[in-house]
A and B are shown apart, each in its own frame.
Chain A
Amino acid sequence: MSMSPPRRPPRSLPRRRALQAGAALVAARLLPAGAASMDDLPGVRELTEYLAGRTAQFGRLALDIPRLADNGNAIPLRIAMRGPFAAGAELRTVRLYSEKNPVPLMARFDFAVPPAKAELDTRIRLAGTQRIVAVAELANGDLHAAFADVAVTVSACLDGS
């Protein structure tokens, strides 16, 4: 699943190295490790109720979704969580929340048996540009969260067919 168009590499090696170093510096400044926090999660009632005051960790759960949706009716996404999962800390549940949909809890996935690989794809529907949140709960109660912003545009032509 392609998340963004592939970038063409710069032509010369020294230039590429310099660009890479620069990009790494920029990335480090924009997103230092641990920058994502509970404050980034939208204050949606259902999400707040589920969290019940608990703190989620960021960084281990990844939420891959296009920044600009082709159409709000079907947007592909991938949830992935890095292993290894220690005994007693297996992946049990993943919940997907929408910031602006009329029904914030979009889906809930339960793993009765720990999955061999913690990766899940589906397609969601979004009522407009908003932030999506995924929250994974492990067997020991630990919470891991990830969020992403998706821009959803209206269709250029109305369709009354």
Chain B
Amino acid sequence: MAFARIQLPPSVKRGDPIEVRISIRHPMETGFRVDDVGRTIARNTLRDLVCRYRGAEVFRASLGSGIAANPYLRFYVTATESGEMVFEWVDDAGERGDARAAVVVA
């Protein structure tokens, strides 16, 4: 189910900060909610989100139940060369997801 929307600037100059924005479809289930018959809904959060730029890890986020559902992140990465930015994540249920976008360094 989890997929994402990524936004990067259309192009950047070498050395400039790249504004990276990502929005991921994920319920970030806290583990404290109960369903309509009183059963606890199991915790399921985005345990590990890794961002790699041209193959090298630049940013990592461990998101707990205190992060809102359908997590949104905005952060900066230093532009070096044009290349792919890849996000990969795994959640508490073991489900993996990924999303990618192109960095264009003019």
State if A and B touch, Cβ cutoff 8 Å: yes
Closest Cβ of chain A to B11, distance in Å, is 15
Interface residue SS majority, chain B: strand
Contact present for A116 and B65 (CB under 8 Å): no
List CB contacts (< 8 Å) of A114-136 with chain B.
114-126
**B65 & A101 in contact (Cβ 8 Å cutoff):** yes
List B contacts of A20 (CB < 8 A): none
Binds B, one of A3-11, A57-65, A105-113, A145-153: A105-113
State the Cβ distance, A123 to closest chain B Cβ, in Å: 4
| Chain A neighbourhood of B60, CB < 8 A | 109-110, 112
Q: Does B37 contact A (CB under 8 A)?
A: no
Minimal Cβ-Cβ distance residue in A for B75: A120
Contact assessment for B16 and A123 in the assembled complex, using a CB-CB cutoff below 8 Å = no
Which residues of A (78-115) have their CB < 8 Å from a CB of B? 96, 98, 101-115
Interface residues on chain B, number (Cβ under 8 Å): 31
Chain A proximity mask over B9-31: 1 for CB below 8 Å, otherwise 0 = 00000011110000000001010
Residues of B within 8 A of A111 (CB): 58-59
Does the CB pair B77–A125 fall under 8 Å?
no
Beta-carbon contact of B68 and A75 below 8 Å: yes
Within residues 37 to 80 of chain B, which ones have a CB less than 8 A from any CB in chain A?
53, 56-69, 71-79
Interface residues of A (CB under 8 A from B): 73-75, 96, 98, 101-126
Residues of B at under 8 Å CB distance from A? 15-18, 28, 30, 32, 53, 56-69, 71-79
